[in-house]
Amino acid sequence: MREDLTLLPATAEDADAILALIRDAYAKWVPVIGREPLPMRADYAAAVKAHRIDLLRLDGRLVALIEMIPKPDHLLIENVAVSPDCQGKGLGRRLLAHAERVAASLGHSEIRLYTNKSFAENLRFYQALGYGIDREEAFMGGVTVYMSKLVDA
């Protein structure tokens, strides 16, 4: 992948593009869990105001994003989405490394995230990056897996 990538904070004007990217990125999971994953139905106009969403653009086109929520003692990764045509090219890794830098800038030594247990490739991906499983909880007929990773603050 070429390196003309830019990472910038989302603005209110990006809400529709964010939703479109997330709908594309998460579409593969609909048949796996029998419903739209919650990020496909979120209000991104509100999320842009309440959370930190950083957008990764390639040649000006939105190709990936990470949505983060700073908490008092950790950084929560609410969402990572990569355009289907860009998956497997290291963009998710790049965004998670960015989240580690954000956590450190906030003085946090822990990052947390969660995913659906049925999203096996996500679980393997996060575990390969050093995230451990903290707990599992039943949710909407499935299981949510809560994960965390310690990082240098």
Q: What is the pLDDT of residues 25-38, one digit of tens each?
A: 999 999 999 999 99
In whole angstroms, give the CA distance from residue 77 to residue 112: 6
* pLDDT higher at 141 or 89: 89
Is CATH 3.40.630.30 the classification given to domain 5-108? Answer: yes
The number of beta carbons lying within 10 Å of the beta carbon of residue 78 is 18
Residue 1: per-residue pLDDT: 47
**Lowest-pLDDT range, 1-15, 16-30, 95-109?**
1-15
Is the pTM above the cut of 0.75? Answer: yes
**To the nearest whole number, what is the mean pLDDT of the chain?**
95
pLDDT digits (tens, 9 = 90+) for 120-151: 999 999 999 999 999 999 998 889 999 999 99
What is the mean pLDDT of the segment spanning 37-62? 96
